[in-house]
Structure 1
Amino acid sequence: MVAKRVSKNSKGHKSSKHRRRPKLKLRGFNNLTKTLSFNIYDVCYARRPQARKEYLEYIDEEYNSERLVRILTEVADIIGANILNISSQDYDPMGASCTILIAEEPVDPKPDQVLAHLDKSHLCVHTYPETDSKSGVSTFRVDIDVSTCGKISPLKALNHLIESFESDIVVIDYKVRGFTRDVKGRKHFMDHRLHSIQQYIKKRILDRYQCVDINIYQENLFHTKMRLKDLDLDQYLFSINADDLSAEEQQHIRTVLEQEITEIFYSKHIF
Structure 2
Amino acid sequence: MKLTRDQAIELHGFNNLTKSLSFNMYDICFTKTKEEREAYLKYIDEQYSAERLQKILKDVADIIGAHVLNVAYQDFEPAGASVTMLVSEGPVTHDVPKESFEESPGPLPESLVMQLDKSHITVHTYPEFHPDEGISTFRADVDVSTCGEISPLKALHYLIRSFETDVMAIDYRVRGFTRDKSGHKLFIDHEINSIQNYIPEDVGEQFDMIDVNVYQENIFHTKCKLREFDLNNYLFGYTKDKLTPDEHIEITRRLKIEMDEIFYGTNIV
The residue that corresponds to 1:44 in the other structure is 29
Contact preservation (8 Å) 2:18, 2:145: yes
The whole-number CA distance in structure 2 between the counterparts of 1:211 and 1:66 is 31
Match of 2:69 among 49, 62, 84: 84
The residue that corresponds to 1:228 in the other structure is 226
Q: Which has the larger radius of gyration?
A: 1
Normalising by structure 1, what TM-score?
A: 0.85
Shift of 1:106: 4.8
CA deviation digits over 1:175-200, x for unaligned, max 9?
00001111222110000000100111
Contact preservation (8 Å) 1:79, 1:157: yes
The residue that corresponds to 1:62 in the other structure is 47
The whole-number CA distance in structure 2 between the counterparts of 1:35 and 1:174 is 6
Contact preservation (8 Å) 1:42, 1:141: yes
Aligned length in residues: 241
The residue that corresponds to 2:143 in the other structure is 145
User: What letter corresponds to residue 85 of structure 2 in structure 1?
Assistant: I
User: What letter corresponds to residue 97 of structure 1 in structure 2?
Assistant: S
Change (3 A) 1:246 1:61: same
Shift of 1:20: 8.6
Shift of 1:247: 2.1
User: What letter corresponds to residue 75 of structure 2 in structure 1?
Assistant: D
Shift of 1:24: 2.9
The whole-number CA distance in structure 2 between the counterparts of 1:247 and 1:22 is 64
Gaps of 5+ in 2: 93-117
The whole-number CA distance in structure 1 between the counterparts of 2:76 and 2:191 is 40
The whole-number CA distance in structure 1 between the counterparts of 2:6 and 2:26 is 38
Contact preservation (8 Å) 1:80, 1:152: no
Change (3 A) 1:240 1:133: farther
Q: Is the counterpart of residue 30 in structure 1 residue 39 in structure 2?
A: no
Shift of 1:27: 2.1
The residue that corresponds to 2:109 in the other structure is none
Task: Specify the SS of the correspondent of 1:239.
Answer: coil
Quick one: percent identity of the two aligned structures? 54
The residue that corresponds to 1:5 in the other structure is none
**Which 10-residue stretch deviates more, 236-245 or 64-73?**
236-245
The whole-number CA distance in structure 2 between the counterparts of 1:98 and 1:24 is 37
Contact preservation (8 Å) 2:64, 2:155: yes
Contact preservation (8 Å) 1:36, 1:173: yes
The residue that corresponds to 1:75 in the other structure is 60
1:40-189 counterparts in 2 under 5 A? 40-106=25-91, 121-189=119-187
The residue that corresponds to 1:215 in the other structure is 213
1:4-19 counterparts in 2 under 5 A? none
Aligned residues: CA RMSD: 1.6
The whole-number CA distance in structure 2 between the counterparts of 1:179 and 1:23 is 18
Shift of 1:100: 0.6
CA deviation digits over 1:52-78, x for unaligned, max 9?
111011101210100100000000111
Contact preservation (8 Å) 2:157, 2:199: yes
The residue that corresponds to 1:243 in the other structure is 241
Shift of 1:48: 1.5
CA deviation digits over 1:83-120, x for unaligned, max 9?
1111111111111000011112459xxxxxxxxxxxx6
Task: Specify the SS of the correspondent of 1:260.
Answer: helix
